[in-house]
Amino acid sequence: MSESSFHKKGQSKLASEAARKDALHRIRSAQLTRRSPEAWAAAIQQGDRDALSQAITLSESNRLEDLRILTTIFNALKPITTKGTPSNRIGITGVPGVGKSTFIEAFGHELLDRGHRVAVLAIDPSSSRSGGSLMGDKTRMNGLSNEALAFVRPSPTSTNLGGVARGTYEAILLCEAAGFDRILVETVGVGQSETAVRDLTDAFILLMLPGGGDELQGIKRGIMEMADLLVINKDDGGNRPLARETASQYEQALRLFPPTLGGHTVQVHTTSALEKHGIDAVVDAVDGMVNQWSENGWFGSQRQKQRLRQLDAHVHALARIARLNATTSAESSWIHLQQEVVDDQRHPLEAAQAWSKLQTAQEP
């Protein structure tokens, strides 16, 4: 990378961070002067996209006060959302360039054609490094973002912890409250982000390229084991025979996998996201799995487990935020504790206990 392009990318990242802070500032002042959390919640439920976007921005904030406002909004939303139609949350992963965004564009349109309302949350650590996440994904989902019954939201990856935006779970709930009943979450399948997205979604789709073993595609066996459905994308042009061959190889490989927790068979499909074929069969397959899970109880029990994991994740995230907001003396205690752990002077558990004791002592 040339020095000037490196500089430019760094600048655009700074600019997007500044824009995010600016948005948060505007949201806060709007909240103070205009909207009560109840009015905010009502606006979300009436389909006000600005209200929805602003609430999602709150969920990504590192300020405890913002998160408190968000909780009040959730409480105001609750009575209506519990009556709402059940949603499906669908995670889509795969190596960079496999066609996730193009697939979501086609898949999302198919869902719209079937009468659904579609929200897309794109978590994209690879593009974020180049600062191009917003542009790249917006362009490839142009059609969807212009649809009245769709909502596309790329995540501000600069706030990501471990590649996944904190607040994505809340973003899903907010989209559902706004009446979106199909939530698609895009994540790059190369790091730990797909595990986190697996924990946020009901069904998890792994996109693969025709040809090449999974080692070649950089897909770890663990990620394949998490998938509810495999899709060999780019089944078009000269690639078609190879796509079919790859699909049957994966079908064979899957026979050696342990049975799924949901009791379903992991199907292998081939699609061309570009030419939009095979997409309807994937929608049918997801619907079929969801029906099966609703009947056998897995749908509800998986969501229960996910809520518990969110509790855990939030405990960690809030502890992290507390450190970010720590006073100078707390900050130096934290650095001191870290040093003791590094030097093996203190057990990590003991250090964590000492830290949480310090925090409790500081609470008003």
Which residue ranges make up the site for Mg ion (CB under 5 A)?
100-101
Residue 301 CA: distances (Å) to CA of 79, 202, 291: 22, 10, 14
124 touches ligand GTP (CB under 6 A):
yes
Q: Shortest Cβ distance from residue 248 to ligand GTP (Å)?
A: 19
Q: Shortest Cβ distance from residue 219 to ligand GTP (Å)?
A: 13
User: Taking a C-beta distance cutoff of 8 angstroms, is the pair 271, 210 a contact?
Assistant: no
Sketch the per residue contact string, 268 through 307, with ligand GTP: x for CB under 6 A, - otherwise. ----xxx---------------------------------
98 lines the binding site for ligand GTP (CB under 6 A)? yes
Any contact of residue 96 with ligand GTP (CB under 6 A)?
Answer: yes
Closest approach of Cβ 234 to ligand GTP, in Å? 4
Contact 253/241 with Cβ under 8 angstroms?
A: no
Restricting to residues 186-215, name those near ligand GTP by CB under 6 A.
188
Contacted entry of ligand GTP, Mg ion, none for residue 246, CB cut-off 5 to 8 Å set by kind: none
Using CB under 6 A as the binding rule, whether residue 100 contacts ligand GTP is answered as: yes
Nearest-CB residue for ligand GTP:
99
Q: Is 231 in the site for ligand GTP (CB under 6 A)?
A: no
Residue 8, helix vs strand vs coil:
helix
| Nearest CA-CA partner of 232 in 214, 255, 251, 207 | 207
Least separation in angstroms between residue 126's CB and Mg ion is 8
Site for ligand GTP in 160-189 (CB under 6 A): 188
DSSP assignment string, 48-80: -HHHHHHHHHHHT---HHHHHHHHHHHHHHHHH
Does residue 212 contact residue 161 with C-beta atoms inside 8 Å? no
Decide: 194 and 187 in contact? Cβ < 8 Å. Answer: yes
Binding-site size, ligand GTP (CB under 6 A): 19
Which residue in this structure is represented by tokens 């049975």? 259
Partner whose footprint covers residue 163, from ligand GTP, Mg ion, none (CB < 5 to 8 Å by kind): none
User: Contact region for ligand GTP (CB under 6 A) — 173-181, 216-224, 229-237, 317-325?
Assistant: 229-237
Least Å distance, CB 129 to Mg ion, is 13
Contact call for residue 218 and ligand GTP (CB under 6 A): no
Three-state SS across 195-240?
A: HHHHCCCCEEEEEECCCCCCCCCCCCHHHHHHCCEEEECCCCHHHH
Distance, CA of 271 to CA of 53 (rounded, Å) = 32
Check binding of 153 to ligand GTP (CB under 6 A): no
* Strand stretches in 102-188, DSSP E: 118-123, 150-154, 182-188
DSSP element (H, E) containing 111? helix 100-113
219 binds ligand GTP (CB under 6 A): no
The residues of the shown chain that bind ligand GTP, judged by CB under 6 A, are 94, 96-102, 124, 126-127, 140, 188, 233-234, 236, 272-274
